[in-house]
A and B are shown apart, each in its own frame.
Chain A
Amino acid sequence: MLQTSGLWLALATFLSIWWGHVGVRWLEAHSADIRPPMVILIIAGLILNVAALFAPSIAIGGVCSVVGISLWWDAFELVRQDRRVRHGHAPANPNNPRHARYLAEGKATLHDPLDREPSDPSEAEQPTVRERNPELA
């Protein structure tokens, strides 16, 4: 019989990482204040990790803990995403008052700097975007 624990843990890990990227960006962009979602993520992570201790199987306990720990990481990631937006490394949401303030300060951008294709890695060195266009970088 196949052992499906690994498959469940793989799904939990990948979906947690996916949410950590896509969901955290969305949450940060739509929260005027990131502290309430941070508190919710920390509490949810704590509940899941405590639940992991009382889980009936390794697979269920592992899924609870993987998701719980990734929610803690996401709480920390909200701060890092806020910093990325402030420095223009991620697009700002002009409808979010916090982002609107960053845009007014002049460093934030509406453009996603990562939304581009990289150059061919087999070619010799080309100037970085920062060297070609410091404002964009």
Chain B
Amino acid sequence: MMWEGLAIGLFSLGIIGFGFFWVIRMEYYLGYLWWPYPLLFGIGMIALSLFVADAGWSALLGVTGASFIWGATELKEQAVRAELGWFRRNPRPKPLPPFVSIIRKIKAPHL
């Protein structure tokens, strides 16, 4: 029997769960304007997965990369949820990300 597939499925559950955690934290401390950075990190992980010889490790990198891309699309909605009072809102101004003038011109993606 192939247990590796099931292990990858369980890993995806864990990494998506971790995604909920870091999206909430990142929006709280940094703000949603940082969304391109997890997006690029996720794309980078998927690109890296193409050059890993072992299929299992490549699969784990792919799952992790996809979950970071999804997390990037959640940041804007998380900011709205915090403004609606559904989540704790950071009262302090948040640091602006590098290249913020370019980021502001792009509509933040969401699912």
| Contact status B65-A118, CB under 8 Å | no
Task: Please indicate the chain A residues that have their CB under 8 angstroms from the CB of B62 in the complex.
Answer: 5-11, 13
Residues of B within 8 A of A4 (CB): 50, 58
> CB-defined interface of B1-41 with A at 8 Å, one 1/0 digit per residue?
11111111110110010000000000000111100000000
Q: Would you give the 0/1 interface string for A62-75, flagging 1 where the beta carbon is closer than 8 Å to chain B?
A: 11111011100100
- Whether, in the assembled complex, A83 has its beta carbon less than 8 Å from a beta carbon of chain B, the answer is no
Contact, CB under 8 Å: B76 / A66: no
**What distance in Å separates the Cβ of A124 from its nearest Cβ neighbour in chain B?**
5
Q: Evaluate contact between A17 and B9: CB separation under 8 angstroms.
A: no
Known contacts being A9-B66, A53-B1, is A17 close to B6, with CB within 8 Å?
Answer: no
Residues of A contacting B65 with CB < 8 Å?
A: 6, 10
**C-alpha spacing A113/B85, complex, angstroms:** 11
Given contacts A9-B59, A124-B93, whether A61 and B83 have CB atoms under 8 Å apart is: no
Nearest Cβ distance between residue A41 and chain B, in whole angstroms? Answer: 15
One of A22, A56, A130 near B84 (C-beta < 8 A):
A130
Minimum Cβ distance to chain B for residue A47 (Å): 13
Segment 24-75 of A: residues with Cβ below 8 Å from B:
49, 52-66, 68-70, 73
Main secondary structure of the interface of B (DSSP, over half): helix
Q: Nearest CB to that of B54 among chain A residues?
A: A3
* Complex Cα spacing A121 to B91, Å: 10
B76 touching A58, Cβ below 8 Å: no
B interface, size bucket: 35 or more
Say if the beta carbon of A2 comes within 8 Å of chain B.
yes
B12 touching A3, Cβ below 8 Å: no
Tell me the smallest distance from the CB of A23 to a CB of chain B, in Å. 10
CB-based contact B49/A53 at 8 Å: no
Q: Which residues of B contact A118 (CB under 8 A)?
A: 32, 76, 79-80, 83
Is the beta-carbon distance between A3 and B94 smaller than 8 angstroms? no
- The answer to whether A129 and B83 have CB atoms under 8 Å apart is yes
